[in-house]
Amino acid sequence: MIEIQSLLKFWLDTDRESRHVKQLALSHLQEINEKILELEQMSAILQKLADKCHGDDNPDCAILEGLAQLSSE
């Protein structure tokens, strides 16, 4: 939301140069793409862990064990 607000500030600035608007937009786009990549990686890891979990009444949990291993790395 802050990214959109910073872009909208340019709308109020009638002396703006479109190159600055584009630079800001591309910068925000790069940040978004980095977040998407990070979320995709997190999703893949969580899916692998969930696939290993039996999901039964047993207290052993492959998800928690995997997360513990990841946090100790």
Residues 65-71: contacts with CB within 8 Å, 24+ apart?
70/45
Residues 31 and 36: their CA atoms lie apart, in Å, by 9
- What pLDDT, on a 0 to 100 scale, did the predictor assign at position 2? 66
Domain that holds residue 26: 2-72
0.85 surpassed by pTM? no
- Record the tokens describing residue 4, joined without a space: 């959109």
pLDDT truncated to tens, each residue of the chain (73 aa)? 667 788 888 888 888 888 988 998 999 999 999 999 999 999 999 999 999 999 999 898 999 999 998 888 7
Contact 44, 70 (CB under 8 A): no
User: For the chain, what is the domain count?
Assistant: 1
Query: 72 in helix, strand or coil?
Result: helix
- The DSSP letter of residue 57 is S
